[in-house]
A and B are shown apart, each in its own frame.
Chain A
Amino acid sequence: MPGAISENLAVLIVVALLSTAYIMPLLTKIRKFHVAEFFAVFMLALALSGGVYLAREILHNGAFTYAVGGWPAPWGIELSLDAISGLFLITVGLVATPILLYASVDLVKDVGSRSRAAWFLTLFLLLVAALCGLGITGDLFNIYVMVEVATIASCAIVAARNDAVAVEATFKYLMLATIGSGFVLLGIGFLFVLTGNLNMAFIAQELSASWQNYPTALWVCLSFFLVGFGVKSALFPLHVWLPDAHSSAIAPSSAMLSSLAIKGYIIALLKVFYVAVGADIITRLPITNILTVLGMLAIIAGALFALAQDELKRRLAFSTVSQVGYIFLGIGLGNIQGLTGTFMHILSHAATKSLLFLAAGAIIKQTGKSRISEMAGVGFEMPVTLGVFAVGSLSMIGIPLFSGFVSKWQLLLGSLARGNYLAVIVLVGGSLLAAAYLLPVLRKAFFERPTQSAAVTEVAYVQLVAMLFLAVVIIMIGTFPGVVLQLAEQAAATLLGLEVLL
């Protein structure tokens, strides 16, 4: 039996999360609500440990594939389990578990009623399962299905809070995300017409033999994917839905969406560009230059927009636009350091931004103030929350010993290896701008006297534990990046089709 579990671990993680999602409505009806929440958190933690085990296997024994239903690749669905899957499963588990733990404290009050809270749990778990699915799949059909599940689930958890602004933001998000899915589906259609396959390894084989016969069609197809996944992952000019959706949702939803949901689409984009089409073709086409330019634009523009916001959650939402730019810059660089930086930033930004959103949610909830200009002296009243907020800010800026530094350092090395000095300037400038939009919050909170002495207390212990866990993750990755960095390098090498570098 243990053998059966470890052999089928990848598919079991997704199936367990999906089943848990569907058990939630039943469980909340027959047991106390906290039992259901505890069970969900437990299953997420189990998925995390499964991800860690899988990543260890992959690092030691190399990548492998898994044929669902016993049907081999061109006929059946194939899961390709490589360092990318391992790293992304760890990222999802590491971040989703504390977010759900944080959410579980007063979910019913946040979303309005018990049945709504039960559906929130279902949707949350569906989103996590879809993201895990995106991480492990090796098939465009699966990618489409998982992208759609993730889109609908993330739209619905924005609308979890029953108020006018959230519903309007959700509608906007849903419309743009559906346009994005349409483009992704068209892109998949083009790849299918060109190659006759939906399995990514087989598409790569077909294309490497014959792509020179139809470069225009391939171009059109790649731009469809870029626009489709770009809308969904809030690449700069296509980010318009993000600030509204992420700032109007409840804190755990914003944390989940900003840190993980958009990363799932980026992983899908990476798989389509580098695995299905192939690193060889992608790096020869100018599309990587377009990605680099878009990434640099996003870094600067997102940070400038963030500076202009006074509402804390909107500022963090625009900061996500800026940080997504770093990830796309790394994809565009297309060398081993750049892609390692991309993977590290996916992990580091997931931990950092979820911590910042959770801390912001705690501040707004306890003080009732959502604007930065009103937050004078909050640091004296909520020292732990603001302390972890400081950790998150320093990591976001890229100070050494915090996880943000590791990823930005790799991106810097990648830009230098490419000889792209403009990217170096933009990377450093982006960090300075991040300092400019995050540090004022801390200055306001710690170095200004509170205006009136209302009795403001810390949030519940469980929520503090969730936030402290994320802070510890950030510092651990920043101080001992060893294994994680190795995994990220391995993932980058897999994408580029290089041999193991270890």
Chain B
Amino acid sequence: MTDFILKRMVSLVLPFVQMLGLYVIFHGHLSPGGSFSGGIITGLSLIAFSLVFGLERGQEKVSERMMSLVESFGALWYGAMGLVGILRGTTFLMNKGAGVPLGAPGKLYSGGLILLITLGVGLKVASTMVTLFVALMEEEE
């Protein structure tokens, strides 16, 4: 695609879209939305880049290998966060009871492990969306 307006618009809008995605991920425990919605928004911003500038330039920014690494990392991160509870002598995914400081309600850091868990899930969702897109695009060729 060689549409000038489209390229300009996407490069103007994309930073804000990514910002919004990260905002939704980080405020999952404070406002509607969360890791899945935020991850989708972040992933879609990367997909939009590939759609407008072509799959090759998109791959230069975030390679498929990188994405599959992030995908595995997101899932493993979730498991690791769950193990914190077990290592502290309580049950799986235990948060407050395992001695994690909860923070002040209403502030960004207020859910203990929840923030870290949503971060992992958000990364996983975003990278999965990109991997799916790339896989479907490559099949076509």
Touch between chains A and B, by CB atoms below 8 Å: yes
User: A70 near B72 (CB under 8 angstroms)?
Assistant: no
Chain B residues touching A, majority SS: helix
Tell which of B5-13, B20-28, B37-45, B92-100 binds the partner: B92-100
User: A25 near B85 (CB under 8 angstroms)?
Assistant: no
Q: Tell me, rounded to whole Å, the shortest Cβ–Cβ distance linking B22 to chain A.
A: 23
User: A68 near B72 (CB under 8 angstroms)?
Assistant: no
User: A8 near B69 (CB under 8 angstroms)?
Assistant: no
Checking B71, B72, B75, B91 against A8 with a beta-carbon cut-off of 8 angstroms, the contacting residue is B91
Complex CA–CA separation, A69 to B82 (angstroms) = 8
Whether A4 contacts B75 in the complex (CB less than 8 A), given A68-B92, A70-B91, comes out as no
A327-370 contact mask (Cβ, 8 Å, vs B): 1 or 0: 00000000000000000000000000000000000000000000
Q: Tell me, rounded to whole Å, the shortest Cβ–Cβ distance linking A10 to chain B.
A: 9
Q: Tell me, rounded to whole Å, the shortest Cβ–Cβ distance linking A80 to chain B.
A: 14
Q: Is A88 an interface residue (CB 8 A)?
A: no
Complex CA–CA separation, A23 to B69 (angstroms) = 9
User: A26 near B72 (CB under 8 angstroms)?
Assistant: yes
Query: What residues make up the interface of B, taking CB atoms closer than 8 Å to A?
Result: 65, 68-69, 71-72, 75-76, 79, 82-83, 85-87, 89-97
Checking B68, B87, B94 against A25 with a beta-carbon cut-off of 8 angstroms, the contacting residue is B68
User: B93 near A69 (CB under 8 angstroms)?
Assistant: yes
Complex CA–CA separation, A18 to B77 (angstroms) = 12
Across the interface, name the chain A residue whose C-beta is closest to B82. Answer: A15
Q: Is A11 an interface residue (CB 8 A)?
A: yes
| List of B residues within 8 angstroms of A69 by Cβ | 85, 91-95
User: B76 near A68 (CB under 8 angstroms)?
Assistant: no
User: Total number of A-B contacts with CB less than 8 angstroms?
Assistant: 50
| List of B residues within 8 angstroms of A70 by Cβ | 85, 90-91, 93-97
Q: Is A145 an interface residue (CB 8 A)?
A: no
6 nearest A-B pairs in the assembled complex, by CB-CB distance: A69-B93, A22-B75, A11-B92, A70-B94, A22-B72, A70-B97
Across the interface, name the chain A residue whose C-beta is closest to B87. Answer: A4
Query: Could you jot down 6 A-B contacts, CB within 8 Å?
Result: A15-B92, A18-B75, A22-B72, A22-B75, A25-B68, A26-B72
Chain A contact-residue range equals 10 to 19
Across the interface, name the chain A residue whose C-beta is closest to B94. Answer: A70
Complex CA–CA separation, A15 to B82 (angstroms) = 9
User: A22 near B82 (CB under 8 angstroms)?
Assistant: no
A6-42 contact mask (Cβ, 8 Å, vs B): 1 or 0: 0010011001001100110110010000000000000
| List of A residues within 8 angstroms of B89 by Cβ | 4
Q: Is A66 an interface residue (CB 8 A)?
A: yes
| List of A residues within 8 angstroms of B85 by Cβ | 69-70
Across the interface, name the chain A residue whose C-beta is closest to B69. Answer: A26
| List of B residues within 8 angstroms of A19 by Cβ | 75-76, 79
| List of B residues within 8 angstroms of A4 by Cβ | 86-87, 89
Complex CA–CA separation, A66 to B76 (angstroms) = 22
Complex CA–CA separation, A25 to B71 (angstroms) = 10
User: B75 near A66 (CB under 8 angstroms)?
Assistant: no
Q: Tell me, rounded to whole Å, the shortest Cβ–Cβ distance linking B129 to chain A.
A: 16
Complex CA–CA separation, A11 to B92 (angstroms) = 7
Q: Is A422 an interface residue (CB 8 A)?
A: no
Q: Tell me, rounded to whole Å, the shortest Cβ–Cβ distance linking B73 to chain A.
A: 8
